[in-house]
Amino acid sequence: MNCIIIDDETTARVIINQLCSQIESLNVLAEFSNAIQAIKYLNQNEIDLIFLDIHMPDFTGFDFIQTLKNPPKIILTTSDSKFAIEAFEYDCIVDYIIKPIALPRFQKALEKAENTLDIQTSDTSDKVETTSGNDLYINIDRRLIKIDIPSIYLIEAKGDYINVKTEDKNYTVHSTLKKIEDKLPDSIFLKIHRSYIINVKKIIDIEDNSVLIKKDVVPVSRSNRPELMKRLNLL
């Protein structure tokens, strides 16, 4: 699991990093002393798990979660037990650990996170899109609905769902961007942001950090922009 740590206290980040180093399956990609920096990072990078402090100046852990369109799994790390009830109102929060964190409790939280990710993976595989030539079948309410792949112009991640937009209709499917990305031809489709895949043939125009596609303005991550520019037949 790729993870990041967000905590304004250096001591806490050092401790969580040390705990992570004792878990083989964990890979700490970055640490942040404030949530704003982390939001910028998440706009350009996909991660599985966040260790998040609640008490931070200016922008709390809960403020941070509310800014995320498609949040990864989150383990809250805090010195306060009083926010536990509020915490579990968020689907993305898998556990709530009180500092100082001991290794056994940390391992237990990770097991919960791993189990949640496993459930998600198996759940989406039940509803996986299947392709046949130019068609994509999506599972909605136990019906397999056929979609003509070139008619798709935008796919947007929305929590545990994806919104597939076509010329005629929009479909909301319980699946992930990664799952559908694997089913679509690379020659037409491109992921331009952690939450968006577009049909490059349907682009109307491109501004600095966004693409106009039909009536949708879609953000382009800085890291994905070079690939998008490569795909265009530039004069």
Partner 1 sequence: MEQPNQSYIKSLSGGNIEFEKKLISVIKTEFPIEKSIYLKNITAKKYKETAENVHKLKHKISILGLEKSYEIAVQYENDLRKNNTILKDDFETILQVITNYLITI
C-beta closer to partner 1: residue 84 or 103: 103
Task: Say whether 226 sits in a helix, a strand or coil.
Answer: helix
In whole angstroms, the minimum distance from the beta carbon of 37 to partner 1 comes to: 19
Q: How far apart are CA 177 and CA 162, in angstroms?
A: 7
Question: How many residues bind partner 1, per CB under 8 A?
Answer: 17
Residues 6+ apart with CB under 8 A from 184: 136, 149, 152, 197
Alpha-carbon dihedral sign for residues 69, 185, 132, 119: negative
Q: Stretches 15-23, 30-38, 89-97, 186-194: which one binds partner 1 (CB under 8 A)? A: 15-23
Task: Check if the beta carbon of residue 221 is closer than 8 Å to that of residue 199.
Answer: no
| Choices 99-107, 131-139, 193-201, 218-226; region in contact with partner 1 by CB under 8 A | 99-107
- Alpha-carbon gap, residue 28 to 110, rounded angstroms: 13
Q: Is 57 in the site for partner 1 (CB under 8 A)?
A: yes
- DSSP tag of 100: S
Decide if residue 63 touches partner 1 (CB under 8 A). no
Of the candidate residues 22, 67, 107, 125, the single one contacting partner 1 (CB under 8 A): 22
Cβ-based nearer residue to partner 1, 78 or 175: 78
Tell me the sheet residues that pair with 218.
211
Contact between 17 and 28 (Cβ < 8 Å): yes
Does residue 102 touch partner 1 according to CB under 8 A?
yes
In the region spanning residues 65 to 84, those forming contacts with partner 1, defined by CB under 8 A, are 79-80
Q: Shortest distance, CB of residue 111 to partner 1, whole angstroms?
A: 19
- Residues near partner 1 (CB under 8 A) are 9-12, 14-15, 18-19, 22, 55, 57, 79-80, 99-100, 102-103
